[in-house]
Every structure is written in C-alpha cells, then in structure tokens.
Amino acid sequence: MGVVAAAGLYWFQPWKLWQDRTVTESLPGAVVEASSTPGTKPDANTGASSSPSAPSGPVTVASGGLISHEHPTTGTVKLVRLADGTHVVRLEQLNTSNGPDLRVWLTDAPVKEGRAGWHVFDDGAYVSLGKLKGNKGSQNYPLPDDVDPSRYTSVTVWCDRFDVSFGAAALTAT
C-alpha cells in the first residue's frame, strides 16, 4: 500500500499546485533607449541618424492571448523575430498552475475552448521548446534553427505527463 501511495505522489506531484515559480526574462535583443546608436552619426541639420531605417530590434510577427484548458491560464504569447533572424516564443504575464512535466509547444493545432481543446495539440505537428521555466512571469523559448515558424498556428502549455493542455493561444499575424 505504501509503495502505491508513493508512486501516486510521484506521478501526480500535488504539492506543485501550491508552489509558484516566477521567471522574469527580458526579450533577447531588445533595444534600450539611448541618445544615439553606436556606429551611427547624427545628421547635423536634423539630429537624425544617418543609418538606414531597418528594424534594429525584435519584431513581433504573431501573437495571441492564452485561454484556459485543464487549469486557469492567462497571459500573452508572441512569436518574435530577433534582429539576427532567429525566432523566440515569448510568454508575457503568464499565470497558470504549476504541475508535473510542463512544456511549451509550438503546434499546428487549432485552439478550441473548453474540454474540446484539452487534448488536440499532440494530434498534429508540434515542436517542444522545452520545459516551462516558471508558471508565472515573462519568459523566452528559442525556436530551433530547422523550425519554420510559418508552419505553426498555436502555442500550448502542455502537461506531458498527462497529455493535456493547461492553456493555449492561437497565433495571429501582426
């Protein structure tokens, strides 16, 4: 009986429901406001930079709001192209329950409300971006170089242990 109870505790890890982990990461490559950009010279007449006007920092290419599935989940998801051409999935103001084996997945599944959306994300194509760093806060998940972000339409906070979505967001081009 004790072995069964210990196995059940390990499997479900109920104590995590009362443990919060907040992670606050800055967006990689975010431009900090400054009086001038290194390597550029102000125009003598206007004070403007003489460099061409190309995006010098991250650009949000798609975003969406998280909806709740198995657990109440709120926040915003952004697919961001960094200045070097790489992409990250950024979770901002995430607030969800903690749980065992939570992952961040980029998927091609439609986001559905309620119980109908709990189990759809492993039915099609998905890329695991790694373990959820914290159940609260703002955090970044780099896309592997071989992943084409245009093939994916949603992001889920996925519980790999129980094959269920805690929450998800449909990505809409911005």
DSSP per-residue string spanning 148-169 = -GGG--EEEEEETTTTEEEEEE
Q: Would the pTM count as exceeding 0.85?
A: no
Residue 78 neighbours by CB distance under 10 Å: 22
Rounded Cα distance, 111 and 170, in Å: 6
Is residue 33 over pLDDT 60? no
Residues 160/143, Cβ–Cβ less than 8 Å: no
**Using DSSP, how many helices (H) and how many strands (E) does the chain show?**
1, 11
pLDDT score at 29: 85
Residues 110/135, Cβ–Cβ less than 8 Å: no
Is residue 11 over pLDDT 90? no
Q: Bigger pLDDT: 66 or 10? A: 66
Is residue 103 over pLDDT 80? yes
pLDDT score at 53: 55
Is residue 47 over pLDDT 50? no
- Mean pLDDT value across the chain: 85
When pLDDT is averaged across residues 142-158 and rounded to a whole number, the result is: 98
When pLDDT is averaged across residues 91-117 and rounded to a whole number, the result is: 96
Q: List, for residues 131-141, the tens digit of each pLDDT value.
A: 999 999 999 99
When pLDDT is averaged across residues 61-79 and rounded to a whole number, the result is: 97
When pLDDT is averaged across residues 62-88 and rounded to a whole number, the result is: 97
Is residue 66 over pLDDT 60? yes
pLDDT score at 19: 86
Q: Quick one: tokens of 145?
A: 């170089």
Partners of 68 in the beta sheet?
A: 167
Is residue 64 over pLDDT 80? yes
Is residue 17 over pLDDT 90? no
